[in-house]
Structure 1
Amino acid sequence: MAGHVLTSRESQAGTRLRLRARTASLHARLDRIIEASCLGEPLHLLRLLIIHHAALGSIVPDLEYAGAARLFPGWDGRSRLLALEADLAELRADPPRRLSIERLFQSEQEVWGALYAVEGSRLGNLILLGKVAEHGDDLGRRATRFLAHHPEEAVAWPRLVARLETLDYRGEDFETMVRGAEWVFGVYLMSAERHLSPERR
């Protein structure tokens, strides 16, 4: 949020670490909801995929419109949506309705912040892929295209981090980047609230 006073450690850290620190509370809140509602035993893979699809179905078109692929060549959020839809079809479920939310990105800083949050989720997906392999049923293990999804190169996340470090946004530019990342987490939280059954909230 604007007006945040950086600690001496934050001010000396790289962009990724500063973004991680600023979004940590939102990230932890989302992780707690997902852990409690989707990752117990039994594993609720369908519920997890629906939350992802409802969120990314709103986020990806806005990032495409804002020129994310121009800023970060090789980014292809659309293929992640296609992977999600294939997994939902495997589980015999229809894609959820898109959230009634739209973001008109006003700056490249916002786009970079949103890309940080969206692409960082791939790291958690690899952990979830292991959970599905261990605790999922046969049908669930076939519906892992999204969790296992990678862009054209396996180093996309390190490449994004390296790009963020070269930008090294500070001051209001960094605050604008934070708002882009916070928006992504907010959309995911909205999706989780909509699609979780009342008894699991």
Structure 2
Amino acid sequence: MLEARTAVAAIRAATAPDHDRVDAAYGAFDLADRTRYAVFLRAHARALPAAEAALAARPGLPDFRRRAPLLADDLAALGEPAPPPLRFVLPEGEAAGWGALYVVEGSRLGGIMLARSVPADLPAAYLGARHRSGEWRTLLAALDDAATRAGTDRWIDEAIAGARATFDLYRRAA
């Protein structure tokens, strides 16, 4: 049975090294440089559409606002074609989708901070796609609620596996 840990806290703690690896991989990009920014966006375009497609195929997840079209628009504005997405298969288990959604939606927070580094003359709809008021807190509460309803540590372990797989997708794409 679940003890004192929340699913969100468990996912955050268990995937901190994965998150750090992804941050390090993308931190090398100079977003103020048009060419390096385009490479950064192409890397994201190898990951995000694959992750969003996997999430859309998983029943039982809350609705989420896709950002792949914004990413494709930013690339097009730079005169860059979108690359083919990497192959991505979520691990088994209902909760894996929740873990993946945590990573995909969490990346919005980082995107807002990164958008500050993008010059005004470059497109930044993708990075600037912030959460609506209360949207992130609502998602985290729903994730914890789903874990509580499941009532097992196995559910949290599945969510962690889904989050790790998604972080790995982004790392591979970089």
TM-score, length of structure 2 as denominator length:
0.87
Cα distance per residue 1:20-59 (max 9 Å; x no partner)? 11000011011111112x1376473212211111101211
Of 58, 77, 81, 1:94 maps to 81
Q: Say whether 1:172 aligns with 2:133.
A: no
Deviation at 1:167, TM superposition (A): 2.4
Contact 1:114 1:183 in 2 (8 A): yes
Deviation at 1:173, TM superposition (A): 1.3
Percent identity over the alignment is 29
Greater shift in the superposed pair: 17-26 or 41-50: 41-50
Contact 1:91 1:139 in 2 (8 A): no
Number of paired residues? Answer: 168
RMSD: 2.0
**Which 5+ residue runs of structure 1 have no aligned equivalent?**
1-10, 193-201
Rounded to whole Å, the distance in 1 between the matches of 2:32 and 2:80 is 21
Contact 1:66 1:105 in 2 (8 A): no
Q: Say whether 1:163 aligns with 2:149.
A: no
CA gap 1:105/1:32 in 2 versus in 1, 3 angstroms: closer
AA in 1 matched with 2:16: A
Rounded to whole Å, the distance in 1 between the matches of 2:56 and 2:91 is 10
Of 29, 40, 43, 1:48 maps to 40
**Which 5+ residue runs of structure 2 have no aligned equivalent?**
none
AA in 1 matched with 2:161: R
Higher-Rg member (1/2): 1
Q: Say whether 1:183 aligns with 2:162.
A: no
Deviation at 1:122, TM superposition (A): 0.5
Structure number with higher helix proportion: 1
Structure 2 counterpart SS, 1:139: coil
Q: Say whether 1:76 aligns with 2:65.
A: yes
CA gap 1:188/1:104 in 2 versus in 1, 3 angstroms: closer
TM-score, length of structure 1 as denominator length:
0.76
Rounded to whole Å, the distance in 1 between the matches of 2:18 and 2:173 is 14
